[in-house]
Structure 1
Amino acid sequence: MEYDYDPELAPWAAKFPAVDYRDLAAARTLLRAASDNAPAYRPEHPVEVTDRTVPGPPGAPGVAVRVYQPAGRTGLLPALLYLRWGGFVFGDLDSIHSTALRLADRVGAVVVSVGYRNAPEHPYPAALFDCYAALEWTARNAGELGVDPDRIGVGGESAGGGLAAALTLLARDRGGPRTVFQCLFQPELDDRLDTLSARSFTDTPKWNRAGARSSWQYYLTGTAEPGSGAVPALAAPARAEDLRGLPPAFVMVCEFDPLRDEGIVYAHRLIQAGVRTELSHYPGTFHGSVAIDAEISRRMIADQVHALRQGLRA
């Protein structure tokens, strides 16, 4: 297909190597190279970074977290549990180090990045339960972290955005730690892949229909066949019937992204459920184009920071 990319992004669209998620080892190698070569963020203010291992879900190993604490701030700060991209199959704490550092610096929040387990070695619900364990730890240790327990939010990108949405559902249903905000950046929410964007975008950069299909197959290994009626809502939040009682949301979608329409539909459903929600659609962008130094990418970052400051009362 021909795509009307933003003029600054267009030259980059053809430069990204195709990632075939069916060959998982090769896909992980490509994604690792992209992650390692990403520009490093240099904070404007001091941020203390600490790696820790926190108690994991019952019967599971501990969960690695990386805590980013803005230095020299007075009073309690909000906290943001931030979950990485990677199609449920790739990544670790280093994958979004610069992003987490930037958010801690610009938002003025304690950011907890979660090293959740990857599928298919650890399929659903391993990643979600790891994230929930990290959320419980953050709330339980708010005093030690210098965090206001009434200002804890969650967020994430792509698969991490889907996990963040699922985490708010799980916390609500379990009566767990209260979250005050959710920031869903191009979230992966729906295994059915039956929206117009999911059906149409078969050759878009970084993420396409084939990649999405493989991602869900890996994540749902041993649970259900993607697209079947047996897929639980905590795996694919777009399937949740009741969105009432969830925290306010900021949902960000890219025009030429298979995930575009599921993000838009989910935002509309949140609004209809009485959840205060802001939806931003960025024309001319594709999945992951926020990593490119372009005006619209800088605007996406600025919008995310602004929304988090408001939602976390930072």
Structure 2
Amino acid sequence: MFDSHYIDAEVRPILDMLAAQFGDYSKLTVAETRALYNQNAPLMAAPVPEGCLDERRTIPGPGGDIACRIFRPKNIHGELPVIVHFLGGTYVATSLDHLGPPPTAMAMEVGCLVVVPLHRMPPENPFPSAYDDSVAVYEWLVKHAREWGGDPDRIILQGESSGGTLAAAVCIDAKAKGLSQPVMQVLAEPLLDHESETCSMSEFTFMLSKEAIRFGSKTYFGDQRPPRRASPLKAEALAGVAPAYVITAGLDPLRDEGIAYVARLRREGVPVIHRHHDGQLHGFFSMFPQILQARIAFQEVCAVMRFAFAGGLGNTARKEQ
């Protein structure tokens, strides 16, 4: 089905650059990982484009206030639809100060409010801290988005890698709590099973490896086995969660679990759009300034988001099924 040996020509120099900058962070301590992140994150951060407002606010959370960075177009007024962009990474090192291109680009392309929450990080804050914070952010926006100029009836959850994990998990947790579903969940190369033993997990080491994934999970869960709640693919039931847009990449260790999640969502009656990109590595979706295929993927996602916010998906996502 997929050409596992094809590497997009635009990806090859990026692989060399990433290897030189980051190496194999699964062999680093948490302190070393954070130091490396602080060194390299500013080099990969995207500038805020002209015409985009940039604000900082907080949302009450179970472990204290959750810091958020908010982007919106300057020239659009009224209640804007809302995208919640969950940060990716290993949960260990992240920041609101050095964000990649998607949040601001989505705000401008879709014409919406983009909220980027900073969840608590392990090992100081182990599971379920990040999950609880993410649910708290969504629940607060459902009730209070208008305070920030957002429309609580038009919310999309979006994330890449472990940010995709959180977006999918929030939909499942929202259903369990009786909350309305978001309009849509957009999952780019998501991690969906912390114990996955798929073919792609063993085959690929481009950008991300099985060892690096296990490093992130161990930091988060310690010596405990990851509980079912942590892995959306292991959820007891998926029927009734928001329609999904799932992106997988041909060279990604997480490829096969993404494909398995698509299949499971479809079996349980959840509308799904699946886009697979041969020759692409994990994290390619955020690399649209460098990779043509990523630009195409990003523009398609923005078009689907506009379609969803305009009511194109009907009412399938708003209430628990």
CA 21–68 in structure 1, closer or farther in 2 if over 3 Å, else same = same
Residue 124 of structure 1: aligned partner? 127
Aligned residues: 302
Residue 37 of structure 2: aligned partner? 31
Superposed displacement of residue 177, structure 1: 4.5
Report which of the two has the higher share of helix: 2
Superposed displacement of residue 78, structure 1: 1.0
Q: Is the 8 A contact 1:79 1:153 kept in 2?
A: yes
1:220-231 matched pairs, under 5 angstroms: 220-221=221-222, 224-225=224-225, 231=226
Residue 16 of structure 1: aligned partner? 18
2:218 maps to 1:237: no
2:53 maps to 1:53: no
Q: Is the 8 A contact 1:82 1:100 kept in 2?
A: yes
Fraction of identical pairs, as percent? 32
Residue 82 of structure 1: aligned partner? 85
Normalising by the residue count of structure 1, what TM-score does the alignment of the two structures yield? 0.90
Residue 271 of structure 1: aligned partner? 266
CA 311–29 in structure 1, closer or farther in 2 if over 3 Å, else same = farther
Please list the CA deviations of residues 177-226 of structure 1 after superposition, one character each: whole Å capped at 9, or x if unmatched. Answer: 4311100011111111211111222x322x1110011111112236x32x
2:258 maps to 1:254: no
1 CA distance for matches of 2:231 and 2:40? 27
2 CA distance for matches of 1:244 and 1:277? 12
Superposed displacement of residue 130, structure 1: 0.8
1 CA distance for matches of 2:193 and 2:267? 18
2 CA distance for matches of 1:311 and 1:165? 17
Please list the CA deviations of residues 86-137 of structure 1 after superposition, one character each: whole Å capped at 9, or x if unmatched. Answer: 1121202124253211111111111110100111221111001111111122
Normalising by the residue count of structure 2, what TM-score does the alignment of the two structures yield? 0.88
2 CA distance for matches of 1:284 and 1:268? 22
1:87-102 matched pairs, under 5 angstroms: 87-96=90-99, 98-102=101-105
1 CA distance for matches of 2:31 and 2:238? 37
Please list the CA deviations of residues 211-268 of structure 1 after superposition, one character each: whole Å capped at 9, or x if unmatched. Answer: 011111112236x32xxxxx33321111112100000110011110111111111011
Q: Tell me, what secondary structure is at the counterpart of 2:76? A: coil
2 CA distance for matches of 1:77 and 1:30? 37
Q: Is the 8 A contact 2:45 2:98 kept in 1?
A: no
Superposed displacement of residue 3, structure 1: 4.2
Q: Is the 8 A contact 1:159 1:188 kept in 2?
A: yes
Residue 169 of structure 2: aligned partner? 166
Gaps of at least 5 residues in structure 1 are: 226-230
- Give the counterpart of 1:302 among 299, 303, 306: 299
- Give the counterpart of 1:179 among 179, 182, 193: 182
Residue 138 of structure 2: aligned partner? 135
CA 267–95 in structure 1, closer or farther in 2 if over 3 Å, else same = farther
CA 65–177 in structure 1, closer or farther in 2 if over 3 Å, else same = farther
Gaps of at least 5 residues in structure 2 are: 312-321
2 CA distance for matches of 1:156 and 1:77? 20
CA-atom RMSD in angstroms? 1.9
1 CA distance for matches of 2:5 and 2:49? 35
Superposed displacement of residue 20, structure 1: 2.1
- Give the counterpart of 1:189 among 182, 189, 192: 192
